[in-house]
Structure 1
Amino acid sequence: MIALIRYTFATVLHTQRYLAPLLLFMGLMGVLTVNGSGPLPPAYASSAGALFVCSTWLTIALMSLDDPSQRAIVVVTAGGRSFTVLLAAIGTALLSCLVLMVFGLLFPLWVGDYVVTTADLLLGLVAQLTCALVGVGIGVLCSRLVFKRQGYALVAALALVMGTLFTKGMSPVNRLFTLMSTTPDAAKLLAPAGVMLAISAVILAASTAATHFVAGRRE
């Protein structure tokens, strides 16, 4: 698994497919969090939203690094365990999101004027992790393993991202953003945020299983 993750990291760095989602993340952070003040939960909701969009795009890019013939070679090299190759790509996406989460936690504090508490930082961490898990889940479902045509994958990804963000109460992301924008006390949000995090983990697991099933039938 570690070797596969290293291979995926090396490939994405070489192809530079990380640049577009990374620049999008930086741009959203700059627009949404610069010169903020007041309670931190709304600012961290913005950081989590930026990471959500970035993680979706980054995962789709990671899952599409290899064409079918190259992927077949990687699977054979991994001992024929296609699920392990899939998990390595997901692991690479999540590790990349962890790096971005550090920036998402610290950048609002640098450019804004906030009173910071431990509960604020913990809530920001949980919110970003929730959005990263859901974003990676959507990216896996909209990858080349499920959609052969990239146009269909793009439409599906946009529909899922927009639905997740704006369909009221239908996703952990939307529910969490609603709570963070209306409740300034981070301590009161930790329990519901933990529930949203657990739901997002289930969503990622279900997306992974569905993608593996579809890919297995095609292979």
Structure 2
Amino acid sequence: MIAMVRYLFTVLLLSQRYLAPLLLFVGLAAVLTSSDSGPLPATYSAVAGAMLLCSAWLTMALIGLEDPPHRAIVVVGAGSHLRVLLGSVATAAAWCLLLTGAGLGLPLVFGTHTVHPADLVLGTEAQLVCALTGMAVGLLCSRLVFRRQGYALVAALVLLLAALLGKGVSPVNLLLTDLQHASASADVLGSTSVLVGAAAALLAAGTAATHAITVRKS
């Protein structure tokens, strides 16, 4: 699995397809947090929203790097479709973790805040919720599921809007609502950690559904 992650990480790096979602994330974080001096929970909710979009785009780009014949060769080398898919999930997660570090620091660079350890923990949890949810969306809207990229884009937009606006049903919507009304990070650390678990379960379900569709198509 480590070899698969290293291979996919290198392929994505050399393809430079990570640049567009990376620049989107940095740009949104800069615009949404520039000159901000409000509570950090609300600030990190904006960064988490940017992570949702970036992680979905990054996952779709990663899955779409290889055409079907090339992917078939990789599957044969890895031994199974599932191993390649899990390698893709792990690679996307590694990229999102790198972005999480940037997401913690950018608001402190562009704004004026008093930082406490609870703020950094909350910022990490918030970005993880959105990263895991975005990765699930990216998998379900990837080339493995949709052959036509136009349909994939429409599906991704619908699912991302549902994640953002689905009141009471989406971990992302619950997260953003909690953070917008929180006066201190410590007040919502517990509830946010529960949402991280819910987002992880969502990613697991998205991975299982994508694998089932991939195996059926093959």
Kept in 2, the 8 Å contact 1:29–1:47? The answer is yes
Structure 1 residue 195 displacement after superposition: 1.0
State the partner residue of 2:45: 45
Equivalent pairs counted in the alignment come to 218
Post-superposition CA distance 1:186-214 (Å, at most 9, x none): 11101110111110000000000000000
Structure 2 residue identity aligned to 1:46: A
Cα distance, 1:168 vs structure 2? 1.9
Counting only pairs closer than 5 Å after superposition, residues 36-115 of structure 1 correspond to structure 2 as 36-79=36-79, 81-115=80-114
Q: Structure 1 counterpart of 2:77, which letter?
A: T
Q: TM-score, normalised by structure 2?
A: 0.98
Q: In the alignment, which residue of structure 2 is the partner of 1:155?
A: 154
**C-alpha distance in 2 between matches for 1:30 and 1:102:** 14
CA distance in 2, matches of 1:167, 1:198: 18
Cα RMSD of the aligned pairs, angstroms, is 0.8
Q: Normalized against structure 1, the TM-score is what?
A: 0.97
Q: Match of 1:82, as an amino acid?
A: H
- The equivalences for 1:9-20 within 5 A come to 9-20=9-20
DSSP-derived class of the 1:17 partner: coil
| Residue of structure 1 in register with 2:29 after alignment | 29
| 2:149 is aligned with 1:119 | no
Distance in 2, matches of 1:95 and 1:163, equals 25
Q: Is the 8 A contact 1:41 1:120 kept in 2?
A: yes
**What is the rounded CA distance, in whole Å, between the counterparts of 1:175 and 1:100 in structure 2?**
22
Q: Does 1:217 align with 2:206?
A: no
Deviates more, 1:129-138 or 1:113-122: 113-122
Does structure 2 conserve the Cα–Cα contact (< 8 Å) formed by 1:38 and 1:115? no
User: Gaps spanning 5+ residues in structure 2: where?
Assistant: none
Match in the other structure for 2:138: 139
Runs (4+) off by over 4 Å:
none
1:93 is aligned with what amino acid? A
Residue type at the aligned position of 1:131: C
Asked if the contact 1:41/1:123 (under 8 Å) is kept, the reply is yes
Q: What amino acid is aligned across from residue 53 of structure 1 in structure 2?
A: L
Q: Distance in 2 between matches of 1:115 and 1:26?
A: 22
Give, in angstroms, the shift of residue 170 of structure 1.
2.0
Cross-structure match for 1:193: 192
Cα distance in 1 between the residues matched to 2:34 and 2:153 = 30
Q: Aligned partners of 2:137 and 2:70: how far apart in 1?
A: 23
